[in-house]
Structure formats: C-alpha cells, structure tokens
Structure 1
Amino acid sequence: MRSYALRTAVTLCFAASLAAAAGAPSSARPTAAPAADTVRQEPRSPVIVDCFWHANVRPADFMLACGDGNSRLTSLHWSKWSTGSASAEGVNVVNDCRPYCAAGKFHSYRVVVRLDRVKPWKKHPEVQHYSRITLEYQGDRPDGFARTVTYPLWD
C-alpha cells in the first residue's frame, strides 16, 4: 500500500512538472520582438579576455602568463573603463625564476595598467575587447624589464 501511494505521488509530481514545462497559455506568451529600428541599446563596454576565454569587465585580478602563472596582476582598482581605453592601479606579481621557475620566489611591483586597441573579439565578434595592455612600473621592477612594457592580449 505504501509503495502505491509513493508511485502515485511521484506520478502526480511528474505530471505537474510536464504541465508547467508545456508553457503558459498563448495569451501570456511574449509577442514578437519590436522592430530593430525601435530598439535602442547603450553601447556595451569592451571586455578583457582571460586565460580561460572568459570576458571580464574591471577584474580585480588578471593572469598575464597563462602558460605558467609566473606573472599576474592583483589588487586592480580601475579609474577608467570606456569604449576606447581603461586604466587601473595595481600590483604585478612576478616569479624571479631563480634558480629556475619552480624554485623561484614571487615579488610584487606597483604598476599603472592601461588597456587599449579595442576591436571585435574573434570568439564573439559582436563583443568588443581590449587587445593591448601596457604596464608602467611605479618604483622597482623585475630584472630586465623596462619601466614601461606593452603586450598584445589574446583574442
């Protein structure tokens, strides 16, 4: 008797979920979208694409060396994020790789970060992304690095 009641309850729940999935009555369904010329959308901000091909806006952290993780940006505080460029202050954490990278130590360097060269993202051409990053070291910098370094960003 108990298994019959359980089967009945499961069957009723299944039927109710099917009815809900079938949708609302046609009067409650949305109508066609308005004509394209009547829809006005604000331009979307460009994104920065990370190592995992995720689009980010104003990230707090950003990996520069995707292959080995030996250089990353942390504590990013964005003062500008616009359709043409972005800028932030933060810290570049870099492995000195001495005597080799697995045994190296990470060191922190204050930087000003600039993003620019906005263009369509190959993965999603409707999305604009920053394609260049510039780091300007504010004090000490890693051995062999110029005061200002510029890198292309992945697409």
Structure 2
Amino acid sequence: MTTLLCTAAALTAAVIPASAQPAATAPAPNAAPLDPVVVDCFSEAQTRPEEYLLACGDGNNRLVKLRWETWGPSTATATGTDMVNDCRPYCAAGRFRAYPVTVTLSHPEAWPEHPEVQRFTMIRLLYTDTAPVPVAKDVTYKLVY
C-alpha cells in the first residue's frame, strides 16, 4: 500500500510541472513578443547592458557607460564610450583610451541556442569625435556570440 501511495504521489508531482511547463516558456498567443537581446562573450542574454565587451579574447576593447535611448524589436541605440587599448608598445603595457561612440544594434534573428529568443546580430559603432587608429569613424560588425 505504501509503495502504491508513493508511486501515485511521484506520478502526480511529475504531471503537474509538465502540464505547467508550456505556459512558463511560451508566450500567450496574444502576448507581445519580447524585444531582442544582445548576447555577450559568456553566452548570456543581455538587455540594455551598461557595459559590453567587444574583444572577448583579450579584453582590449569594451563599451562602457552605455545609456540606451531605444531598445525595440528591430534596433537598439545607445551612447557611451569605447575603451580601447592602444597596445603601445605592446598590449600588456598599453593604455586604454576613451572614444565617445553611438552604438546601434540591429538585424535580430533567432538565437540558435534558444530559438524562441531573438538576438541582435549586428553592431554599428559611430565615433562622435575621433576613432581609434586604424578604425573608421563608422564601422559595422557582425556579432558572432
């Protein structure tokens, strides 16, 4: 009898979360879709990050003090500072220099690791003063994370 009660309790516990699962992960049919995310170097989804690492391998290029003006279904725009290591005379001895920048994220696509989530796949940096040598004042990169 005890075995039967334990089995019934285990089956009930297994069924309740399974039936509740779709509502937790899938938006309601009439719900507005979630805005896209930007994926960082650690494969974490971010929304309106204050900082964003551009050079994942060595950390020599980072966007900081990001102030997001918009974050919508097709683009996101911020102003901030691009901190770039000048690597002179070599990167370990280089100095980080600040470049004011406008950042635009665009081209949302399904995130392969989480197909129900849209992620921005392009980043545009528009330097509002000078740009780091040899970078152009207006550059666009594909986000590969």
Give yes or no for TM over 0.5. yes
Partner of 2:38: 48
Deviations 1:122-151 (A, max 9, x none): 111111000000000000211111110111
Deviation at 1:40, TM superposition (A): 2.8
Partner of 1:98: 88
Normalising by structure 1, what TM-score?
Answer: 0.76
Larger Rg: 1
RMSD over aligned CA atoms reads 2.5
The question of 1:135 aligning with 2:135 is answered no
Deviation at 1:42, TM superposition (A): 1.9
2:99 aligned residue (109, 125, 128)? 109
Q: 2:64 is paired with a residue of what secondary structure?
A: strand
Partner of 1:3: none
Deviations 1:26-69 (A, max 9, x none): 9xx79x55999x74322101000000000000000000000000
Distance across 2 between alignment mates of 1:97 and 1:56 = 29
Q: Return the letter of the residue paired with 2:89.
A: P
Distance across 2 between alignment mates of 1:101 and 1:41 = 48
Q: Return the letter of the residue paired with 2:32.
A: E
Distance across 1 between alignment mates of 2:135 and 2:143 = 18
Distance across 2 between alignment mates of 1:95 and 1:110 = 14
Structure with a larger share of its residues in strand: 2
Q: Which runs of 5+ in 1 are unaligned?
A: 1-21
The question of 1:67 aligning with 2:57 is answered yes
Percentage identity across paired residues of the two chains: 48
Structure 2 counterparts to residues 138-153 of structure 1, below 5 A = 138-153=128-143
Moved over 6 A (4+): none
Partner of 1:17: none
Q: 1:69 is paired with a residue of what secondary structure?
A: coil
Aligned length: 130
